[in-house]
Amino acid sequence: MQQIFNITKTSRNALAQFLEKYTLEQLNKIPEGFNNNLIWNIAHVVVTQQRLVYKLSGLPVMITAEMEAKYEKGSKPEQDVSQAEVDEIKTLLFTSHDQTIADYENKTFKTFQEFTTSTGFTIKNVEDALSFNNFHEALHIGVIMSIKKFL
């Protein structure tokens, strides 16, 4: 499991670099041909991890219902985010990951609701969720790499 957590940490560090490198205007810009922007993809990663790992385990999430609705699959940016929201997302990139490690080590995850993703992968337990989450984050880093070419 340590390797899975290390991969997630690497992903989160890469995502944080985008938050530091790009201006608020650039983070909010939706390039022509895209449905979302840099900040939506980064926040979506946080929301999806919470849903895959915690909600499917029947546990409370670290995000608000508003944030979950704003960045869930199928949503799109309705308005620009503020710097305060960017800062909150950046914090959540790391606090949610650290909490997940602590909860895993403390054996907090006891039950799991099996779920088949839109890519056809069936997640049967929290370990599957953590592994799939890394795949999901990599997909969105790819989207972010595409978007940044147009900024």
- CA max distance for the chain: 46
Would you report the helix, strand and coil content of the chain in percent, each value rounded to 5?
Answer: 65, 5, 30
pTM value is: 0.96
Fold (CATH) for 2-148: Four Helix Bundle (Hemerythrin (Met), subunit A) (1.20.120)
**pLDDT, tens digit, 9 for 90 and up, residues 33-83:** 999 999 999 999 999 999 999 999 999 999 999 999 999 999 999 999 999
Q: 100: closest CA among 44, 141, 62?
A: 62
Q: What integer best gives the mean pLDDT of the chain?
A: 98
Share of the chain above pLDDT 70, in %: 100
**How many CB atoms lie under 10 A from the CB of residue 66?**
8
